Structure 1
Amino acid sequence: MTETLYTLATACQHSEDIKKSRFLAQAAPVQSPEQALAFVRQVSDLAATHNCWAYRIGQDYRFNDDGEPGGTAGRPILQAIEGQGIDRAVVVVTRWYGGIKLGAGGLVRAYGGTAAECLRLAERSLIVAMARLGLRCDFAELALLKARLRELDADVMRETFDADGVELDIQLPESRVGEAQTRITDINRGRHSARRLD
């Protein structure tokens, strides 16, 4: 069984004052490393002492301590993302130094804690694993087939007509693939079957 993952429904932020330093966590949903790094550039305050960040997109992740001692900022932010079951998200924690040193443990708690609280308060949306299927059908079956697949939350990504019928590429939730394959076989009475494209 795969773990349930969420992404952020929208960008969010949370700030805390810890021993006179101000910490501001800003988080956003992202689909690519390029989007994540663009968000980091967009929200980083060049007048602040540090802009530390982390992102996770599937198996792809990166983090940066931005001048804080190694392992005290970026990694705790990444651990906050993972600990909350979040994927496809970036978090930037900006620090304005207030004159009191926090020590390595204090920095880990401050960066990780501010990021975790920001994500805890954020509105989330469930990430649904999707699958792609390719199939063929006769012209006469097309309307019925599309209607039955829509009931399974399937979207037609591509439809190609030729002299013998229609070739369809559809995308649907992974959990509905078996049901979709059965419906397709039933509608065309076993003449065509769906095949995985992913």
Structure 2
Amino acid sequence: MLYTLEGLHAHEEEIKKSRFLAMAGPAGSAQEALDFIATHSVVSATHNCWAYRVGDAYRFNDDGEPGGTAGRPILMAIDGQQCDQAVVLVVRWFGGVKLGSGGLVRAYGGAAAQCLRLAPKAPIVPRTMLACRCPFGDMALIQSKFAGLDVTVAAEDFDAEGVAWQLALPSAHAHAFMELFIDLTRGRGEIGVKGAG
């Protein structure tokens, strides 16, 4: 199971006189991740290294550290902590002692992993989008079942006969809700899968 972060979390540590500040947060898109990095980067720091993963999309940046010693270990920490839709920025203030390539990998990856370990997380629940329509007479009864199955209304349109909804719900509940919908509308409603997210 994959997890996302419930909010901003920070973790700080000192390694051989260098100060490392790791900040992690949720990111629903690549642009949200880049905005997080721009907002939380510290201009006066020696390095602002980062990585993000949003589904299959990912990027990382070493910000002047030797190639592969900062951004990639941060990304590996995100993956190692089973996180998705997450961004991690590790800010370093150089303390005068060189860490070497192995030391940098351990420092950046370790700071990111510890930050993610301590951060409050929530499971990412795959959701399915359903398109349905029902007569006005069945609308209240259908709506009464939304909370119990974690159904959210993504779009709602009314016409002379009734309502057309686009509903998002956990994929694990989709089949049961579709059967329930058909039963509650006594076959007068229409429902089908629109997509997954």
The verdict on a shared fold, with TM-score over 0.5 as the criterion, is: yes
Q: Across the two proteins, how many residue pairs are aligned to each other?
A: 195
Contact map agreement 1:149 1:180 (CA 8 A) in 2: no
State the TM-score, normalized to the length of structure 2.
0.94
1:92 aligns with 2:89: yes
What secondary structure sits across from 2:65 in the alignment?
coil
- In the TM superposition, 1:64-75 aligns within 5 A as 64-75=61-72
State the Cα distance separating 1:165 from its structure 2 match: 2.5
Q: 2:109 aligns with which of 95, 107, 112?
A: 112
Q: Structure 1 residue runs of 4+, over 6 Å off?
A: none
1:42 aligns with 2:39: yes
Contact map agreement 2:135 2:189 (CA 8 A) in 1: no
Residue identity opposite 2:13 in structure 1 = E
Contact map agreement 1:76 1:112 (CA 8 A) in 2: yes
Q: 1:159 aligns with which of 133, 156, 159?
A: 156
Contact map agreement 1:181 1:193 (CA 8 A) in 2: no
1:8 aligns with 2:2: no
Contact map agreement 1:16 1:24 (CA 8 A) in 2: yes
1:103 aligns with 2:114: no
CA deviations over 1:78-103 (Å, ceiling 9, x no partner): 00001001111111111111111111
State the Cα distance separating 1:12 from its structure 2 match: 1.0
Match of 2:141 in 1: 144
Percent sequence identity is: 53
User: Structure 1 regions of 5+ residues with no counterpart?
Assistant: none
User: Structure 2 regions of 5+ residues with no counterpart?
Assistant: none
Residue identity opposite 1:142 in structure 2 = M
State the Cα distance separating 1:197 from its structure 2 match: 1.2
Match of 1:27 in 2: 24
What secondary structure sits across from 2:164 in the alignment?
strand
State the Cα distance separating 1:186 from its structure 2 match: 0.5
Residue identity opposite 2:161 in structure 1 = D
What secondary structure sits across from 1:42 in the alignment?
helix
CA deviations over 1:171-194 (Å, ceiling 9, x no partner): 111111011011011112223341
C-alpha distance in 2, partners of 1:158/1:108? 46
State the Cα distance separating 1:51 from its structure 2 match: 0.7
Contact map agreement 2:134 2:190 (CA 8 A) in 1: no
186-195 or 170-179, larger mean C-alpha shift: 186-195
State the Cα distance separating 1:27 from its structure 2 match: 1.0
